[in-house]
Structure 1
Amino acid sequence: MSVNGLGELEAAVMDVLWQVGSPLPVREVRNRLTTGRTLAYTTVMTVLDNLHRKEWVLREMHGRAWHYRPAGTREELVARSLRRVLETTCRPDVVLLHFARAASDRELAVLRQVLDERAGGDR
């Protein structure tokens, strides 16, 4: 597995879409992939359909072809994935405790900053 629960090919497709920054048809995504192997058009189409189902990409019809774009920035989609993990666990508080105990000093500083901002906004 690669980026946040995505498979290696899914992550490679997302990298292409993030790098380009504009909607791409399947054929163009396929042409830009640098996986070291030749992929069938239908393989890339299936990956994009799966990413659409997982809400990682949005698609719009242009002529007769779907054009795909990321549903958000890398950071936004990773944060959404983390949120979904917490929402689907029976003990999110315990998961957060384990995360906090394993967090780096930099990660803890970011968490402190956000908590301080939220506390200041409640006054």
Structure 2
Amino acid sequence: MFERFSSGYYLGRLYVQPRGEREAAIKRDDHERVNEQLYATGEGVERLDNPLVMKVGTRHYPVVGDDDVPRGTLTLPEDAVPGDLEGKLPGRREVFLANADRAEDLLQFTGWEGESSA
């Protein structure tokens, strides 16, 4: 789904579409698999519900898992869809996935207030 792009990001292509929720999301199974493969440290029990951090356009989004999201799709809150994507969704787009270290830093800046940030 994602390939190494740089020292801080992986690159993938997902369908991007708006949704009426406050959080960005991908299919829960995909979320857990990516979390396990890319964010697991191997130092004990890992939380697979920690948000991923994805970049679409110029914005970063904390991304949660949701069973109602179609496989291979990233959903964004309607009011958060970048201006350069309006009118072009849904569509397959390049999506950057922050690596574990970068994601941890970015979550602080995005104002993530989920359980996992405590």
TM-score by length of 1: 0.25
Greater helix share, structure number: 1
Instruction: For CA contacts below 8 A with separation 6 or more, give which structure has more relative contact order.
Output: 2
Which structure dedicates a bigger proportion of its chain to strand?
A: 2
TM-score normalised to the size of structure 2?
0.25
